[in-house]
Amino acid sequence: MNIIPIEYYLVLSAFMFAVGITGVLIRKNAIVVFMCIELMLNSANLALVTFSSYLGNAAGQVFVFFVMTVAAAESAVGLAIIIAIFRNKLTVNIDEINIFKW
Amino acid sequence: MQDFYNILPLILVASGIVISVVIEILSDNSEKILPWFSALVLLSASVYSIMLMNNTGTIFNGMLATGGNVYIFHFIFTIGAMLIILGSIDYIKKYGSYFGEYYILILNAVLGMMIMASARDLFMVFIGLELMSICFYVLAGINRKKLNANEASLKYVLLGAFASGFVVYGIALIYGTAQTTSIDKIIAGFVPLSHNILFITGLFLFLVGFSFKIAAFPFHQWVPDVYQGSATTISGLMSTGGKAAAFSVLIILLSAVAPSNANVFRPYFAVIATLSMIYGSIVAISQNNLKRMLAYSSIAHAGYMSIGLASGNYESIAGIIFYLAAYTFMNIGAFIVISMIEGENDSKLQLSDYVGLNAKNPKLAALMALFMFALSGLPPFAGFFGKYYVFISAIEANLTWLAIVGVISSVISVYFYLRVIVLMYFKEPETSVAVHNSNYGVLAAVISALFVIVFGLFPGTLLDLITSFLK
Amino acid sequence: MSKIVNPSVEYPANTWPLLFYGAAVLILAGIMVGLSYILGQRHEDKDTNTPFESGMKVTGSARLRFSVHFYLVAMFFVIFDLEAVFVVAWAIAFNELGWTGYIGVIIFIGVLTAVLVYEWRIGALDFGPNGKKILKAQKEFK
């Protein structure tokens, strides 16, 4: 089934990673920023699975499990923090969360 | 079974976490039991990490390393966290987060740091890093009613997760080109791999992610806000344990290039070292909030330690480990003293609140003066020898200009550390409100002061120990 | 694979209905949007930009605030769901891992159980309004 060359997957994953970084840097909504971070982690997952499949080495796929679990834990904590800040301040716009200067 | 005996410090902390959760389930006043239980767990883990220090080797198919310098790091983490727990007993009542979970999270963060220091596989590095970071995100915002803490924790979680994204993508690229995740195998095949552009990109992304965690200059933006907004004791743990754990991973990476002179990271680390030292020292001068000042000083200290990473020889690795041991105890001590002086609702953190402290509470003033002397790097204390060893290693690696920049920025930093001492001793207090201290907090500060003095008077003992493990 | 289907020959025969369908969708959507653009009226009144609610004036935001419990349960589901991945990975290699793997997975599930009991104990799994609390408050009110 080696129809699609490895470069295609890697370019797609690099593109997803770049979109994630750009999103984190330019978006103002904390939840959207969080989604962009998840996109970065998932682009790494795609690269790991690609390498793992092309090298015939299962370690990369096992690592993807761990990355997924960690991403779930991180988003649970992150969203809980966003809820806490929304209850106190009624906004999730990171430009308005500025007691300390960024 | 020998394997399990060799990682007893890790097992002790891990089982301590599960037992703490059970205590939290069963008991209604767990916040009174858990500090003592977790301090006991950490103390026994630190005792075992000294006892097992000579059992060097790797276990679990080369996933974790035991003994040697790894256990020196374990000792630093566990004793540091134990001092933080002693300092927290009275502080978290005042701070308004009197929960048992606070201690469970600290234990979890310490476990993450220990896994990071032990890791000989990129997977374990990642798992340890995330275990530590996620616990710190929660601990930074442990009081969910405080807007300051919320904001600190949001900034920390956003930028920390961003850095983790870099680390994971870097690991993916390294795995793809080196075809393995075992750090020892990557180091063995390092020279041919270093011509592969994808491998170097992966390594660079990995380094960028860790530069966030050590709070070096271009990636430092979260540090002042997070240290100022979090609970003071937690800032103490983040600035010492978290930084030491990230450095422990960078040191393993550095040992790949230490024997040869082919240090491909030298330009990168030299640049971030220069920028963080100068930026940290200069901006700290203009700060009035003591926690924020220490945050900028922590950026500067990350710069001094990065000098060692740039020189990349065995002397510099030993110097960094010594520096981290010294920095951990002096910074934890300083944060614990600040936590005792701090009032309700984040008050009494300004420099003006320290005016005439000697008249109000001479005990605290003396401790604070000692930690400020040590942090500024004046001779009889541990901080001096930390800087000294790192600068010497830079000169040996033909990086004399970097050592000179380091000395200049140390001279600048003496100003803002000594300003605190001048305010405490040579100014009359404006108000005569007494400053109360907590007995446990003073105990923790005294223990860290003892470590600072002992490392300062007998620096050779620790340094010889570290060097003997490097060979 | 290439023996069964030769792409260069089969390509037009196999895919023209799909291409035609796609083109038809695009053309139809284009006609609908274009016609309404040409024929529709344009005006700028007070309520033009408010959401349409049966011709009535807007009576508040369309955004509802859900109880935080929905979120909490969703988060527990995501986390416990992902732990199943590790148990499945163990189950696939059950014979190879032997007793060592069995003990490992027992410890893993034991930790998960402790955490589940902890969640139960702090009341994170209580749904909806607490009946006993309301009755108690009512008694005190009388």
Please answer yes or no on whether C83 and A83 come within 8 Å at the CB atom: no
Q: Count CB-CB contacts under 10 A for residue A15.
A: 11
Q: Count CB-CB contacts under 10 A for residue B167.
A: 24
Instruction: Give the model's pLDDT for residue B76.
Output: 92
Top residue of C118, C119, C120 to mutate, by most chain B CBs within 10 Å, is: C118
Instruction: Give the model's pLDDT for residue A12.
Output: 92
Domain annotation covers residue A101? no
Domain annotation covers residue A84? yes
Instruction: Give the model's pLDDT for residue C10.
Output: 45
CB B222 within 8 A of CB B302: no
Ordered per-residue pLDDT tens for chain B, 471 residues: 777 888 889 999 999 999 999 998 888 888 888 999 999 999 999 999 988 888 888 888 888 888 788 899 999 999 999 999 999 988 888 888 788 889 999 999 999 999 999 998 999 999 999 999 999 999 998 888 888 888 899 999 999 999 999 999 999 999 999 888 888 888 888 777 778 888 888 988 999 999 988 888 888 888 999 999 899 999 999 999 999 999 999 888 777 666 555 567 788 888 999 999 999 999 999 888 889 999 999 999 999 999 888 887 888 888 899 999 999 999 999 999 999 888 877 778 888 888 888 888 888 889 999 999 899 888 778 888 888 988 988 888 888 888 899 999 999 999 989 888 888 888 877 776 677 778 888 999 999 999 999 988 888 888 888 888 876
Q: How confident is the model at residue A51 (pLDDT cuts 50, 70, 90)?
A: very high
Domain annotation covers residue A100? no
Please answer yes or no on whether C114 and B25 come within 8 Å at the CB atom: yes
Q: Which of A72, A80, A83 sits opposite C82 (nearest CB)?
A: A72
Top residue of B115, B175, B177, B235 to mutate, by most chain A CBs within 10 Å, is: B175
Domain annotation covers residue A75? yes
Instruction: Give the model's pLDDT for residue C6.
Output: 44
Which pairing describes strands B64-66 and B57-59: parallel, antiparallel, or unpaired?
antiparallel
Domain annotation covers residue A52? yes
Total of domains in chain A: 1
Measured N-to-C along each axis, helices B314-341 and B69-95 cross at an angle, to the nearest 10 degrees, of 10
Task: Name the minimum distance, in Å, from the CA of B180 to any CA of chain A.
Answer: 8
Q: Which of residues 97-136 of C touch B (CB under 8 A)?
A: 110-111, 114-115, 117-118, 121
Using CB atoms, list chains with 3+ pairs below 8 Å to chain B.
A, C
Q: Which residues contact B306 (CB under 8 A, 6 or more apart)?
A: B214, B216, B269, B272, B273, B276
Top residue of B13, B15, B18 to mutate, by most chain C CBs within 10 Å, is: B18
Instruction: Give the model's pLDDT for residue C3.
Output: 39
What is the C-alpha to C-alpha distance for residues A42 and A48, in angstroms, rounded to an integer? 10
Architecture of domain C68-133: Up-down Bundle (1.20)
The ranges assigned to domains in chain C are 1-40, 68-133
What is the C-alpha to C-alpha distance for residues B161 and B137, in angstroms, rounded to an integer? 10
Instruction: Give the model's pLDDT for residue C53.
Output: 54
Looking at every residue in chain C, the average pLDDT score rounds to 78
Q: Residue A37's domain is classified under what CATH number?
A: 1.10.287.3510
What is the C-alpha to C-alpha distance for residues C2 and A81, in angstroms, rounded to an integer? 54
Chain C neighbors of B99, CB-CB under 8 A: none
Instruction: Give the model's pLDDT for residue B432.
Output: 65
The residues of B whose Cβ lies within 8 A of any Cβ of A are 123, 126-127, 130, 134, 137-138, 141, 144-145, 147-148, 150-155, 157-158, 161-162, 164-166, 168-169, 171-173, 175-176, 179-181, 221, 224-225, 228-229
Over residues A16-37, the mean pLDDT reads: 91
* Containing structural domain, residue A11: 6-89
A61-84 b/e with 16+ CB inside 10 Å = b? ebbbebbbbbbbbbbbbbbbbbbb
Q: How confident is the model at residue A102 (pLDDT cuts 50, 70, 90)?
A: very low
Domain annotation covers residue A97? no
Rounded to 5 degrees, φ, ψ at A29 are -90, 125
Residue A45 in this model has a pLDDT that exceeds 80: yes
pLDDT digits 0-9 by tens, C69-127: 788 888 888 888 888 888 988 998 888 888 988 999 999 999 988 888 888 888 777 77
3-state class of B349 per DSSP?
A: coil
Please answer yes or no on whether A73 and C89 come within 8 Å at the CB atom: no
- What chain B residue is nearest to A30 in terms of C-alpha separation? B158
Chain A neighbors of B154, CB-CB under 8 A: 30, 81-82, 85, 94, 97
Q: Count CB-CB contacts under 10 A for residue A58.
A: 10
The residue behind tokens 């605190």 is B420
Domain annotation covers residue A33? yes
Domain annotation covers residue A102? no
Q: What is the ipTM of this complex?
A: 0.94
